[in-house]
Copies of this chain bind each other. A is one copy, B any other.
């Protein structure tokens, strides 16, 4: 347990380091208006904080920088929660005032806004189709062997996939099935679609349809992969402006990882159910390349279920308070907007 004075000093060091990116010395802390102690006293406390693991020293004669544990403590106990500047609130308000009417467009645009506002990299996870429901299904023949399957969800997203059709299946059969599907499965959540396809329609189809097996296979692949969420990345190059990444080799690893969509998907997957804000510091991200990065994520949701995430990636030395404030507001407003659209 830290004393009040230790908290105050840790807080001051993190704040200073966040803005300056330089190790901070006892003298500069002591000179701050709200600190009533001499450099020597601060030094003693700093030595203690280092022993406790909250600070570290790049080399003997340098100031201190926060350790991962130090950042963790800062984020968990010290971050001031008031930090949403009015200018930023205005930007967000202006963003929601624009009339955009497709969910995906909103998310994409939000990514840009976020990276511009924060000067970090924004990573947004597009809405999870999984929890939205079927609005309309269509199978449109392109030639005698292939067709394009189109799924429209209740949120107006359109997913499409090209499938190949076995020659023994006739056009009229396909039409029958698609009609059946549309009459019985509309408003079923996509994640239940396949199971309901079998349970509700299986019997009926087996009766009316000649090539049941083959047809089912086609539908299976048509409905299959549409659960892939999209990643919207913006401001990746903002990483290059951070002084800790002025070395090309280090930043290459980071940018390389940002090109790996599957990795990002995993990283942003909404933490099991919770809708709170997550801060992952350094190696908590489980990737060597992100050892000196922090990722802050929040979720937006519909009907209480997380639909997707919005995240900001920056150096561990990142403006936690400001970013958390912005993400909090934006995720809340996105959720509100979705609720307003689709209730």
Binding site for B on A (CB under 8 A): 101-102, 135-136, 138, 140, 142, 146, 148, 150, 152, 154, 156, 158, 160-164, 234-237, 240-241, 245-249, 251-252, 255-256, 259
Chain B residues near A160: list those with CB within 8 A. Answer: 158
Chain B residues near A161: list those with CB within 8 A. Answer: 102
**Would you call B142 and A146 a contact (CB within 8 A)?**
no
In the complex, residue of chain B having the shortest beta-carbon distance to the beta carbon of A243: B248
In the complex, residue of chain B having the shortest beta-carbon distance to the beta carbon of A99: B164
**Would you call B148 and A156 a contact (CB within 8 A)?**
yes
Query: Please, how many angstroms separate the alpha-carbon atoms of A167 and B162 in the complex?
Result: 35
Chain B residues near A156: list those with CB within 8 A. Answer: 142, 146, 148, 162
Chain B residues near A249: list those with CB within 8 A. Answer: 240
**Would you call A101 and B146 a contact (CB within 8 A)?**
yes
Shortest beta-carbon distance from A159 to chain B in Å: 9
Chain B residues near A142: list those with CB within 8 A. Answer: 135, 154, 156
Query: Please, how many angstroms separate the alpha-carbon atoms of A160 and B255 in the complex?
Result: 31
**Would you call A140 and B136 a contact (CB within 8 A)?**
yes
Query: Please, how many angstroms separate the alpha-carbon atoms of A343 and B175 in the complex?
Result: 25
Chain B residues near A247: list those with CB within 8 A. Answer: 248
A-B contacts, 6 of them at CB < 8 A, read A101-B146, A140-B152, A142-B156, A156-B162, A237-B259, A240-B248
Query: Please, how many angstroms separate the alpha-carbon atoms of A237 and B258 in the complex?
Result: 10
Query: Please, how many angstroms separate the alpha-carbon atoms of A161 and B142 in the complex?
Result: 21
Q: Which of B138, B146, B240, B259 contacts A252 (CB 8 A)?
A: B240
**Would you call A240 and B236 a contact (CB within 8 A)?**
no
Q: Which of B150, B234, B240 contacts A150 (CB 8 A)?
A: B150
Shortest beta-carbon distance from A28 to chain B in Å: 27
Query: Please, how many angstroms separate the alpha-carbon atoms of A142 and B132 in the complex?
Result: 13
Closest 9 CB pairs of A and B: A158-B160, A102-B162, A240-B252, A237-B255, A101-B162, A142-B156, A148-B156, A240-B248, A246-B248
Chain B residues near A164: list those with CB within 8 A. Answer: 101
Chain B residues near A237: list those with CB within 8 A. Answer: 252, 255-256, 259
Which among A142, A164, A251 has the greatest number of chain B C-beta atoms within 10 A? A142
Shortest beta-carbon distance from A102 to chain B in Å: 4
Query: Please, how many angstroms separate the alpha-carbon atoms of A294 and B237 in the complex?
Result: 21
Query: Please, how many angstroms separate the alpha-carbon atoms of A138 and B245 in the complex?
Result: 50
Chain B residues near A256: list those with CB within 8 A. Answer: 237
Query: Please, how many angstroms separate the alpha-carbon atoms of A251 and B246 in the complex?
Result: 11
